[in-house]
Structure 1
Amino acid sequence: MGNEQPSNPQDDYKAKETKPQLGERWPHGGFRGGGGWISSDRVTSTYDLVEQMHFLYVRVVKARDLPPNPVTGSCDPYVEVKLGNYKGKTKHFDKKVNPEWKQVFAFSKEKIQSSVIDVFVRDKEMVQRDDYLGKVVFDMNEVPTRVPPDSPLAPQWYRLEDRRGESKVRGEVMLAVWMGTQADEAFSEAWHADAALVHGEGVHSVRSKVYVSPKLWYLRVNIIESQDVESLDKTQPPQVFVKAQVGKQVLKTKVCQTRTTNPFWNEDLLFVAAEPFEEQLVLTVECKAGPSKDEIAGRLVLPLNTFEKRLDHRPVHSRWFNLERFGFGVLEGDRRHERKFSTRIHLRACLEGGYHVLDESTMYISDQRPTARQLWKQPVGILEVGILSAQGLVPIKAKDGRKTTDAYCVAKYGLKWVRTRTILDNLSPKWNEQYTWEVYDPCTVITLGVFDNGHLGAENSGKDSRIGKVRIRLSTLETDRIYTMSYPLLVLQPSGVKKMGELQLAFRFTCLSLANIIYLYGHPLLPKMHYLHPFTVNQVDSLRYQAMNIVAVRLGRAEPPLHKEVVEYMLDVDSHMWSMRRSKANFFRIVSLFSGLISMSKWLGEVCKWKNPITTVLVHLLFCILICYPELILPTMFLYMFLIGIWNHRSRPRQPQHMDTKLSWAEAVISDELDEEFDTFPTSKPENTVKMRYDRLRSVAGRIQTVIGDMATQGERFQALLSWRDPRATSLFIVFCLIAAVILYVTPFKIIALLAALLYLRHPKFRSKMPSPPCNFFRRLPARADSML
């Protein structure tokens, strides 16, 4: 025992490869899981990355001709499905003898402890015990098995039996009972026996759902000028500005520098709008009446549906609009308004769909397509993700005097969000749900987060607690390979980094067109409009923040809702806030980039000191050859990089990278820095001076932090050229190096230099505003930012 080595705590923070018992692909599209053969192409392509789970489904459709209560003369029926110790109930109907429920119940095969299924029809009583109307009994051995994509099992009418098992004269119920898997269409909408203790509105929040992000557009409003603006003070011309509002977004133009009744601005105001367009554009022309007082000179309300949808950079025609002017001199609270056609505003406005709306952090972007569907290209691949299970989750809340967790998982890629069902009261939940996304660009990231469901009570109150998050960059995945990984769920808390459990996934990236993927590496990262009419840094930050809010609000209106705290965590809403820890991490990322140069300088120093005579002689010989034959310099460099890339192929990363606590500087952070990172913004410090300086420091340092991170990202992309982290990009680069080496070898150096100079000094007419293919290729290379916590 004395020879045992202590375990390294870093190993708990690393992703590990697992070997779960997944379904297997077989010839002719067969699927084999734990329950035998399923010859179905649909199931094969949908559920071969998860462990097959069997469920007993009971569909209760309706009943007819139920006997009324002899006392009340009416019937308030409901159905109770009983299987062993599990009971599921439908809602009851008041005074209805022919009710329709259309509800499905699901019981896990692993927990079935009975050989019969009892379906009771009862009459709900308010005072006495519910009256018994009849029952139907099914033998488990006679339940058929349904295999998708076979059509759903047709329900049948069953005559109700009394307690002794004899048929009753009146009353029938329409049922369907079958054995299926999680691939069944009824799975997501079914009442699950595991959630039997959940009642009220909480029932909806335990079901698995697929969400679609709203389609976001940029609304560009160009305020040009206004005419005949009047103010209360008739002695001097007014100082005028325009305030525009869309929903909760409010922007203002600058105050016209010239005091005039015909002010001129020519300013662009940018908003984010979501389909369907429920908000309106509200424009108010206001005059400065004092240091902190403004008066409304006119108002204009325009529905967003009236604006043109612009897909490219073609100009939009401007229009004049008459303002609705509030009457001056009326009592406060009695704001009469009248049409005044002499006061007008000149503007142009359009909804722009040629951009990609930045609704997520740029580092972890999962969809780079423009908003307008007309500009979309064909998908280049398919991403399939099997959310298997979680292990060793940390208890989040107390229930019945004990600690427990009600966990579910959310995955987001592109416009599609998915949410697994909630597994109640389990620290090692098994979901085994699989989802598929179309991939339009492999240089994107899928994000998966695990949460504790805090909305299971009848009052539907509380918040969903974060358990952890995983990010996977698709370009680092090998084509058609199934990855089975266990990722640690890491959360940074005021006490430090904490492992909340492990998430087990299976995923595969399937390439549909290798030629299109290779073409994308030389294609611009973002849509064309981002380069023809770029946004300023302040505009990007504001638009991203507004887009996040809109997505959170819209997904929060779904049923069940995807709550704001979940959406913000998945979209890294706080990634741009100041943090001493992040700044340190980005600084040391830059320092590590210079380690190669430092090693090179040390090696040159060793050559100069003749520590290895053979190496020194070879360097002198190579130097003499390159001096005598300078045309060999460039071919030698490219050939050398080609050989390095081939050599590094042996040590290429075999698994996708995960969050690195050491890289994120999460282990060495001190308590004071954590207290600063988890402080509110603005700061909660009571001293006004400290608050002002502290907020200013955090704002400026946040900018510096972002710049440092961008610098580190560019350097890491250089390293990714030959590291095989993105196997397709490295393959393209080493092939380019080989071709360049051959061309430069057979072409005189003087011609190469002349052509390079002519290309560099070419006339602006021959230049494009779009980035060059080498620049596009470089921007698509992966960086270690994906592994930042």
Structure 2
Amino acid sequence: DINPVAPSDAGAAPQNPGMYQLDILLKKGHNLAIRDRGGSSDPYVKFKIAGKEVFRSRTVHKNLNPVWEEKTSLLLDGLRDALYVKVFDYDFGLQDDFMGSAYLYLESLEHNRTLDVTLDLKDPHYPDHDLGTIEMSVTLTPKEKDFRETQQSLRLSEVHQKAQLWRGIVSVSLIEGRGLKPMDANGLSDPYVKFRLGHQKYRSKTMYKTLNPQWREQFDFHLYEDHGGFVDITVWDKDAGKKDDFMGRCQVDLSILSKEHTHKLELPLEEGEGMLMLLVTLTASTAVSISDLSVNILDDPHERQQIFNRYSLLKSLHNLKDVGMVQVKVIRAEGLMAADVTGKSDPFCVVELSNDRLQTHTVYKNLNPEWNKVFTFNVKDIHSVLEVTVYDEDRDRSADFLGKVVIPLLNIQNGERKAYVLKSKELTRPTKGVIFLEMDVIFNAAKAGLRTFVPSEQKYIEEEPRVSKQMLLQNFTRVRRCLVFLVSTGYYINSCFEWESPQRSTCAFLDLNIVSSCSPGRWYRFGLLLVKPKKHILEEV
């Protein structure tokens, strides 16, 4: 083993400033620092080069000797910058705690040889503290003639990583809580629940004054990793005007749950009292991809022929669930609705086929966005419909709906670029704008016919109820008009009493006398008094 905590010649420039590939196997940690109250930690590792994060490991929960066994490959332009390794303790809803760091100086590594490396973790503020070690193996390989091909391959891989394609859907139903801990002076609590899977978060509604809340809420997370992951769950007591009280935590290990099956889970709360009841369903989502127009498999004659051969009639008895594939080119949109107060929108496009859902990047402050993205889906039922929806991105709230198009797969004309009018959510009327799409569907007719007799796939992704910005603006406009009407009516009545217009006040005087003639005498006299000119009132006084 080696422990390269300092460069062999820190002041010297690298002998070869060319391209290198650094292959890293992050193995495990040993005797890491304690950061949680239970005497443990939830460690994960970050790699940085030249201040840029290039890798982040998964989190190993409640373990001071974690085993990761994760691989990554980095393409380096020179060896001057060291690999900065940082370890953190994951804290749900809070800032993650620092657990130590170390440097791996790349200039000290021998080329074309796999080396076992042990890094001593230190805290720069407390250099004498022992924070444990990280073990990994590294291989540094110079890239000469083939570095361009390697760079292109990594760049294509980054296209897919940036798209953040998910492997499946985690459908969670929060049913109820039982026997929760009382946190308020009245012996009750106002509980709500926070969920987190990776960077995805969800917060339930608050149930007031109860220890046995009934939520009955359903939401979905996207599953990005084949091996599952952990859903972190915390329960909190809502306190107005001060910090909410922590009531307990629990976890769901998705790796032990079977897919295509609904699991009823009763989870006891750690560091608290009571339990939560959940329904969790994992649904697989396979054979989906996203790329730029420049990376389009159907434009390559060889690739296209291979796909036709895959779905030829000769392959009708092979993998009956793989009916075909559909490719959707999302080109651009024109004349979209202005959803922001600036008269612009921040549009992005979501393409869905059954439980597969992909989206483009956001084009900011534009009513005529260009995306130029290619989406590829696996077809399991040729009678499915393709849904293309355009949203306006809002950083502080849910995205606003701008319009959608629904296209049955059987209605697609291969290779035809067409402008589709965006419609409302209910598809009953057009909204503003059009979207330009080009689609190709290739399928096996025999498999498609057999799949007709199989029940259609249940869709787990349902649109969450959200407050529409357009509806808020409409309601605000209505309230403003009502207020303006009331204020105007008040000014009009006051002007009658003030005799600013003799004709108007005379008409009001006659109308009031006619109405008050049906009333008792005292009201009649009081009405006459109200509409008399001020000078007559003063004379009588």
TM-score normalised by length of structure 2: 0.37
Q: Which has the higher contact order (CA 8 A, sep 6+)?
A: 1
Larger strand share, 1 or 2:
2
